[in-house]
Amino acid sequence: MVAPHRWRRAPRPDGDRPAACGERHADQQLRAGAGGEPSSRGHCAECRRARLRGADARGRGARPFVSPADRALVDRFCEMLAAEAGAARNTLLAYRRDLEAAGDALSDIGTASPEDLGRLGAAWAELAPATVARRAAALRRFYGFLLDDGLRPDDPSAALPRPITQRPLPRILDEGEVERLFREAELRAQSDEFLAVRNLALLELLYGSGLRATELVSLPRQAMRREQPFMIIKGKGGKERLVPISSRAQDSVRRWLTFVPTDSPWLFPSGKSHLSRVRLFQIIRQMAGLAGIATDRVSPHVLRHAFATHLLGGGADLRVLQALLGHADIATTQIYTHVDSGRLVQLVNSRHPLSDRTR
């Protein structure tokens, strides 16, 4: 009989129950590694099948049929992206999904003619312009690869549809809503229940450091070191950057570390790996609901947007913000200047050379 231990699972907070298949067995390794009674169940058959076929974590349905010849070309293309461009796993999965989805409208992706590609506009008429643009971009790069490697004599991508897209302004929470979110998370963490402590640490790092969801869930256990007010984050394309950590975030993470098994390589372990992006999305939405905020307005990326917008509103330099967010192009960061329109008006009124002239 297993002796009582602080890691014995207490009732979950309201609504905190993994729903995604891949997370159905969440926290098993945590319970087993910390003295709790390990579960005899492994991952279910569906979880194993999903991993084997590289399924999308969001479960977007059945995988499109792709011929063996096309699948081999897509495999070679993804190998090139990984080896030459340093593409991350999620980037490779996204390219693969878009190319295989194109197989639903094309009889043969690798040998499609310009006329075949010209019909994609009609076939994709029901899709959002951003989706069409993304799939066309994937095909454009794919055919460029086939041409460069001598796998086909021409590049038919000029016939691909080019929808007019307008980049939407990022959704954000105002500072009052963020305060409500933290107030509720801190109140629940006072119970010292390990899921509540974990959720507060996740929230502190998301909003306090502006991490991407993948960067956050895959943090190694030793990511935060004593007397070091920053972390080294490996972001998109394997690029590293320094990210500062607030003192309150450090306190929350240290508190969470007392619950993490010492043999875990992850800061936020779950099962045999780390917490998934899907589960993080669920956690953040559940926390928003408990704080009385509409759940469809909140996600991990919305908190990253809030981090950037609130820093910019506080006077942060755009170049500094670009470095903190890990943006390769300053144009990506500039979108936040359009969100904080009040600051732009104040800047013009206070800094323009004619602002003090009276009419």
Q: So which residues are the catalytic ones?
A: 212, 236, 301, 304, 327, 336
Task: Specify the 3-state DSSP secondary structure of 270.
Answer: strand
**Residue 336 Cα distances to 203, 204, 215, angstroms:** 21, 21, 21
Tokens linked to 71: 């699948």
Q: Which residues pair with 4 in a beta bridge?
A: none
| DSSP letters for 308-345 | HHHHHHTT--HHHHHHHHT-SSHHHHTHHHHH-HHHHH
Cα(333)–Cα(92) distance, integer angstroms = 24
Cα(242)–Cα(324) distance, integer angstroms = 7
Task: Specify the 3-state DSSP secondary structure of 4.
Answer: coil
Q: Which residues of 169-190 are buried (b: 16+ CB within 10 A; e: fewer)?
A: ebebbeeebbebbbebbeebbe
Contact in structure between 355 and 185 (CB atoms under 8 Å): no
Contact in structure between 85 and 328 (CB atoms under 8 Å): no
Q: For residue 165, what are the contacts with CB-CB under 8 A and spacing of at least 6?
A: 129, 130, 133
